[in-house]
A and B are shown apart, each in its own frame.
Chain A
Amino acid sequence: MILCLETSGRFSSVALSNGSHYSAETENFQAEHILSLIDTLLKEAGITGEALDALAVSVGPGRFTGLRVGIAVAQGLAFAWHKKVLAIDSLAILAQGVYRRYGAEKVRVAMDARREEVYRESFLWDGKIMVSQQDLSIMSIKEREIDSEEWVGAGSGFLEYPGLAKGFKTCYISAPDRTPYAEDMISLAIKAYQDRKAIEPARILPNYLREEVVS
């Protein structure tokens, strides 16, 4: 059993690989409720932390503070329970949600990164999970357009910068399409676990993509 944590967006959410999940809106992006959600989830499932196979946490890109909240929680729990942790790409989680809701198999995600930039990455459905096309990057909206042929767009980037949606037949920008949820981490986490990607908790770090933070 894998415990999945997602705190990179406006909601903090938790899920177990048996399918049960909870989410709560965060106040001031601080994810104060994440431990209560975990406690409820584990108690309902009747399992202890020690019985888990691994933990999985969304490592970004996303809100910097939110990413650190999730990672700090994953580190603390995994260290206490002697478990390893799986680092999951937040844009893959979002793409996974788009597949779950709409069955879209070719998805280009663009997440608002502010300062007229987006985090962007493309995903293809392989029959089990959305697989990254290894093109994760931070992109200026002035730089270029995102190739739209045969793809659907999804994420807050298309809402914030409508110019990006040019050429796309479909762009999913409703509230759920802008937030990664822990329930959509489950199949990604199981695959990563099978691929032996779990690492020591102290080695899990945020993937900020943006290194220059002083203007």
Chain B
Amino acid sequence: MRILGIETSCDETGIAIYDRERGIVADTLYSQVSVHERYGGVVPELASRDHIRKTLPLIETTLNQAGLKARDLDGIAYTAGPGLVGALLVGALLGRSLAYGLDIPAIGVHHMEGHLLAALLEPLKPTLPFLALLVSGGHTLLVEVAALGVYRIIGQSIDDAVGEAFDKTAKLLGLPYPGGPALAQLAERGNPTRFHFPRPMLLDRADLDFSFSGLKTHAMVTYKGLVAKGEDTESTRADIAAAFQAAAIDTLVAKSKRALAQTGLKQLVVAGGVSANQYLRRTLEKETEFETFFPRLKYCTDNGAMIAYAGYLRLQNGEHSELTVGVKPRWPLSELKSIQSNLG
């Protein structure tokens, strides 16, 4: 059984093919970063324009990579939400039409379910149940994964997503878009103890929610104060980046540990773009009370492989989408049905 996965929910076009016997057999990605760079953020209309240009050519490339023809496919999975509506529509309609033309089933996949299950594509994978920390430019979530399709959000950001706070702080320090990774690089050269930034909502609240907008403001006030004193040097900026990163990541780690303690789970899966953060990886690797799993980097950020895999599980579960194609820019994870099938 071979499933084509199509991901177009934001600023990356990802296409992959999952084979039940062999796993991911082909995987391609086109990133639009250079398109949005000059605007300092994703421009939805430009994202849609790039998706319609790239999706079908990438599908052709991916099939060629796998040495397959379209008629060798048994199903098509596309991201149906959450995400940018115009971007989602391109992948959803192309995928649904291709499936109709090939007379095979199609399924609309929840983007976050893709991220949650991406760790299962790895040879060293967690067993169910596990706790997932999803951290990206759009999300900061702690999710209890009780079983396939059974997700409970137990913690989330009440304002900015952690990746968004990284990007905005990076912009403040004059780093190029997308700033998050650049900020993390700068932080590696800084002294994280010169400035102490508050750990938001850690001590004053016992729950598992996050808040990063205050931290971003704290970085801004600190930086502007130093600029006013004529201390705007490369090393000062690196120290601010390091203090910001330490505060943000320490908070993620502390809340994840709190969630593990509350749920009694012993495995943590970290996914989303921020899971590439080296400080986060180093900190979690030191932990001995629980095991941490990171999908490989290309499956941490948006990709077609996770959509192909989640779609495979859903199709195998007997689900499929109708001819009337709908996308869901907002789509709570809790609306998903459980998946009865065994892990393939």
Q: Given that A32-B324, A35-B100, A205-B52 are known contacts, is A68 also in contact with B90, CB under 8 Å in the complex?
A: yes
Contacts of B94 in A (CB 8 A): 72-73, 75-76
Q: Given that A33-B324, A214-B46 are known contacts, is A76 also in contact with B89, CB under 8 Å in the complex?
A: no
Kindly specify which of B56-64, B214-222, B254-262, B295-303 makes contact with the partner chain: B56-64
Contacts of A75 in B (CB 8 A): 55-56, 94, 97
- Tell me whether A206 is interfacial, beta carbon within 8 Å: yes
Q: Given that A36-B324, A39-B323, A213-B45 are known contacts, is A205 also in contact with B97, CB under 8 Å in the complex?
A: no
A72 contacts which of B39, B43, B52, B100 (Cβ < 8 Å)?
Answer: B52
B55, B57, B96, B101 pick with most chain A CB within 10 angstroms: B101
Taking a contact as CB atoms under 8 Å apart, the answer to whether B45 and A35 are in contact is no
Taking a contact as CB atoms under 8 Å apart, the answer to whether A77 and B53 are in contact is no
Taking a contact as CB atoms under 8 Å apart, the answer to whether A206 and B93 are in contact is no
Query: Complex: how many Å from CA A73 to CA B93?
Result: 6
Query: Complex: how many Å from CA A80 to CA B97?
Result: 8
Shortest CB–CB separation between residue B14 and chain A, in angstroms? 16
Shortest CB–CB separation between residue B245 and chain A, in angstroms? 31
Q: Given that A71-B52, A205-B52, A213-B46 are known contacts, is A79 also in contact with B324, CB under 8 Å in the complex?
A: no
B45 contacts which of A38, A64, A80 (Cβ < 8 Å)?
Answer: A64
Which residues from 324 to 338 on chain B have a C-beta closer than 8 Å to any C-beta of chain A? 324-327
Query: Complex: how many Å from CA A34 to CA B325?
Result: 9
Taking a contact as CB atoms under 8 Å apart, the answer to whether A73 and B39 are in contact is no
- Tell me whether A153 is interfacial, beta carbon within 8 Å: no
The B contact surface, by secondary structure, is helix
- Tell me whether B102 is interfacial, beta carbon within 8 Å: yes
Shortest CB–CB separation between residue B50 and chain A, in angstroms? 11
Shortest CB–CB separation between residue B39 and chain A, in angstroms? 6
Taking a contact as CB atoms under 8 Å apart, the answer to whether A77 and B48 are in contact is no
Taking a contact as CB atoms under 8 Å apart, the answer to whether A64 and B101 are in contact is no
B89 contacts which of A30, A205, A206, A213 (Cβ < 8 Å)?
Answer: A30
Taking a contact as CB atoms under 8 Å apart, the answer to whether B48 and A64 are in contact is yes
- Tell me whether B86 is interfacial, beta carbon within 8 Å: yes
Taking a contact as CB atoms under 8 Å apart, the answer to whether A36 and B56 are in contact is no
Contacts of B52 in A (CB 8 A): 68, 71-72, 205-206
Query: Complex: how many Å from CA A65 to CA B324?
Result: 17
Query: Complex: how many Å from CA A68 to CA B70?
Result: 22
Contacts of A35 in B (CB 8 A): 96-97, 100, 323-325
Q: Which residue of A lies closest to B322 (CB)?
A: A36
- Tell me whether A47 is interfacial, beta carbon within 8 Å: no
Contacts of B89 in A (CB 8 A): 30, 65, 68-69, 72
Taking a contact as CB atoms under 8 Å apart, the answer to whether A80 and B101 are in contact is yes
Contacts of A80 in B (CB 8 A): 70, 97-98, 100-102
- Tell me whether B75 is interfacial, beta carbon within 8 Å: no
Query: Complex: how many Å from CA A33 to CA B93?
Result: 11
Q: Which residue of A lies closest to B91 (CB)?
A: A72
- Tell me whether A155 is interfacial, beta carbon within 8 Å: no
The A contact surface, by secondary structure, is helix
Which residues from 242 to 301 on chain B have a C-beta closer than 8 Å to any C-beta of chain A? none
Over the window 24-35 of chain A, the binary record of Cβ atoms lying under 8 Å from chain B Cβ atoms (1 yes, 0 no) is 000000111111
- Tell me whether A180 is interfacial, beta carbon within 8 Å: no
Taking a contact as CB atoms under 8 Å apart, the answer to whether A79 and B45 are in contact is no
Q: Given that A39-B100, A68-B52 are known contacts, is A76 also in contact with B323, CB under 8 Å in the complex?
A: no
Over the window 159-182 of chain A, the binary record of Cβ atoms lying under 8 Å from chain B Cβ atoms (1 yes, 0 no) is 000000000000000000000000
A77 contacts which of B55, B85, B100, B323 (Cβ < 8 Å)?
Answer: B100
- Tell me whether A49 is interfacial, beta carbon within 8 Å: yes
- Tell me whether B95 is interfacial, beta carbon within 8 Å: yes
Which residues from 30 to 81 on chain A have a C-beta closer than 8 Å to any C-beta of chain B? 30-36, 38-39, 49, 64-65, 68-69, 71-81
Shortest CB–CB separation between residue A19 and chain B, in angstroms? 23
Query: Complex: how many Å from CA A36 to CA B324?
Result: 6
Q: Which residue of B lies closest to A208 (CB)?
A: B49
Contacts of B45 in A (CB 8 A): 64, 213-214
Question: Can you report 21 A-B residue pairs in the complex whose CB atoms are below 8 A from each other?
Answer: A35-B97, A35-B324, A36-B324, A39-B323, A49-B101, A64-B86, A65-B85, A65-B89, A68-B51, A68-B90, A72-B52, A72-B55, A75-B94, A76-B98, A76-B99, A77-B97, A77-B100, A79-B56, A213-B43, A213-B45, A214-B39
Chain A interface (Cβ within 8 Å of chain B)? 30-36, 38-39, 49, 64-65, 68-69, 71-81, 201-202, 205-206, 208, 213-214
Given contacts A35-B96, A78-B101, 19 further A-B pairs with CB under 8 A are A31-B93, A36-B324, A39-B323, A64-B48, A65-B48, A65-B85, A75-B97, A76-B95, A76-B99, A76-B101, A77-B100, A77-B101, A79-B59, A79-B98, A80-B97, A205-B53, A213-B45, A213-B46, A214-B45
